[in-house]
Amino acid sequence: MSNSDYSALVASQREFFLSGATRPAAWRKAQLEAVNALFTDNHDELCDALWKDLRRNVNDADLMDVAYCAKEAEYALKHLNTWMKPVREPMPVVFEPGHILVHRDPLGVTLIIGAWNEPFMLTFGPLVAALAAGNTAVLKPSEISAACAAAAARLVPKYFDPRAVVVVEGGVPETTELLAQEWDLIFFTGSPSVGKIVHQAAARNLTPCVLELGGKNPTIVHSSANLKVTARRIAFGRFINSGHICTAPDHVLVWPDVKDAFVQHMAETIREFYGDDPQQSPDYGRVINRRNFDRLVTLLDSGKAATGGQSDAADLYIAPTVLVDVAVDAPIMQEEIFGPILPVLEIASVEAVVEWVNSRPSPLGLYVFAEDNAVAERILAATRSGDAVVNDCAIHPLFPELPFGGVGNSGMGKYHGHWGFEAFTNARGVLHHSARVDPDVRYPPYAKHGIQRVIVNKLMP
């Protein structure tokens, strides 16, 4: 596509939006039904694409992408009437008769740029919110999950009018061209470094952005934690999708008195989940590409493998690995791992945890495993993170009731469920003031109103 093609695409969606066609609830519901149908009718093809790109098993394909998107659309369908209803707020008595309403108005033509690790969730999840809110959308899936991007590009025209939803395939040059267009919202999922490029491009037109970014999610294991359950939940969160999960526990900070027992539980759990040779497990995935494989293999040298540590370049396989004896300044502690390696470091107090979290970029997720509730409460009360989970990790994006998103370096703006609807709308305050009553006391010259004026001032909002 040339630059003029992109301009024409945006112009066509803007014309459609301005026609009013996307505003009625009936249109929005039909689009949400179409998202649901796309993922239901083509379930096997979409799971195959995830297998090709990530060697993802069907269970996890459904959990994070295929059934996930269908359910997100169903949830929006169920709640849409309530979300669309204007909210009434109290009217100050001096302005009676009248009323105050907050409308949730669509923003217009939106651009949704996705990352490769959850290729459908990260493009069609925001799309559900965009459509529920009455917008049009251009989807730009990641070129790295190529099979999934191709499936999306092939299927979307079958389910949507291109004036409402279009997929643009491509990498950096295509995304750069797209970012040069004028949008009403840009919704981006990816790394903080590219997030900054997107934010700068958006600033040229004062376009609002939602930035869903990544980072290192600290995972705290306190002495009071149920170690067996903790190990199972951390192993699930770290090794699902080969560790390519933005909410995965990035590193564990464990109280010294339970460190050895925790590491032992991790080794047993990995064997339970994936057998003696995880490379043969139908449930264990592969690294997305050679570039990430090479990056991750280098990170294996940051400590001693308490379990795992094996790799096979020809198969893009890295064993589920737990690293101990990791220095605080080791390479693995300098970047988001985004792969199946879990460094375990010791920490000895709540104060040290707070200092650790607060002296680093704000994470997307913060996880605390502790049976002693006060420990979790003290940590949460003194730190910042996009979201937080107590006694579990990584799974919170599956709850549409929870706002999902980062803070600081891990992003801005929230979505999922009602939060997504809010992200894709303008809270338009609408004041209706009746012309039937219009007392003089509101207007100059004020001096003539005396005591009445004093009373009105007190009653003003």
**Residues tagged active-site:** 212, 246
CB of residue 176 to ligand NAD, shortest distance in Å: 5
User: Rounded CA gap, 129 and 137, in Å?
Assistant: 10
30: phi then psi, degrees, rounded to nearest 5: -60, -35
Minimum gap (Å) between residue 278 Cβ and ligand NAD: 23
242 by DSSP, 3-state: which?
Answer: helix
Min. distance of Cβ 424 from ligand NAD in angstroms?
A: 16
Q: Which is nearer to ligand NAD, 134 or 237 (CB)?
A: 237
Q: Which residues pair with 89 in a beta bridge?
A: 100
Q: How far is the CB of 223 from ligand NAD (least distance, A)?
A: 30
Residue pair 151/51 in contact by the 8 Å Cβ criterion: no
- Give the number of other CB atoms < 10 A from CB of residue 125: 28
CA distance 419 to 421: 5
Query: In terms of CB distance, is 100 or 364 closer to ligand NAD?
Result: 364
φ, ψ for residue 136, nearest 5 deg = -100, 170
Contact indicator for 127, 155 with CB cutoff of 8 Å: no
Q: Which is nearer to ligand NAD, 190 or 285 (CB)?
A: 190
20: buried, middle or exposed (CB in 10 Å: 19+, 13-18, 0-12)? exposed
Are the C-beta atoms of 283 and 272 separated by less than 8 Å? no
CB of 47 to ligand NAD, least distance (A): 19
Cα separation of 228 and 231, whole Å? 5
Distance CA 16, CA 62 (A): 33
Across-strand partners of 253? 220, 345
In whole angstroms, the minimum distance from the beta carbon of 386 to ligand NAD comes to: 7
Greatest CA separation for the chain:
91
d(CA 167, CA 174) in angstroms, rounded, equals: 12
- Residue with the CB atom nearest ligand NAD in the bound state: 214
Q: Which residues contact ligand NAD by CB under 6 A?
A: 113-118, 122, 140, 142-144, 171-172, 175-176, 189-191, 194, 197, 212-214, 246, 336, 338, 364, 406, 411
Between 125 and 278, whose beta carbon lies closer to ligand NAD?
A: 125
Nearer to ligand NAD, 148 or 246 (CB): 246
Q: 184 or 212: whose CB is closer to ligand NAD?
A: 212
- Find the shortest distance in angstroms from Cβ 378 to ligand NAD: 26
Q: How far is CA 93 from CA 83, 103, 202, in A?
A: 28, 22, 42
Q: What is the SS3 assignment for 105? A: strand
Whole-number Å distance between alpha carbons of 218 and 237: 13
Nearer to ligand NAD, 36 or 175 (CB): 175
> CA–CA separation, 440 vs 171, rounded Å?
63
Torsion of CA 93, 99, 102, 106, to 10 degrees: -150
Q: Are 307 and 282 in contact (CB under 8 A)?
A: no
Nearer to ligand NAD, 108 or 363 (CB): 363
Would you say 403 or 406 has its CB closer to ligand NAD? 406
Q: Show the DSSP H helices in 65-145 as ranges.
A: 66-84, 121-132
Report how far residue 308's alpha carbon sits from residue 242's, in angstroms, rounded to the nearest whole number: 13
Least distance CB 293 / ligand NAD (angstroms): 14
Q: How far is the CB of 24 from ligand NAD (least distance, A)?
A: 30
> How many Å apart are CA 287 and CA 310, to the nearest integer?
13
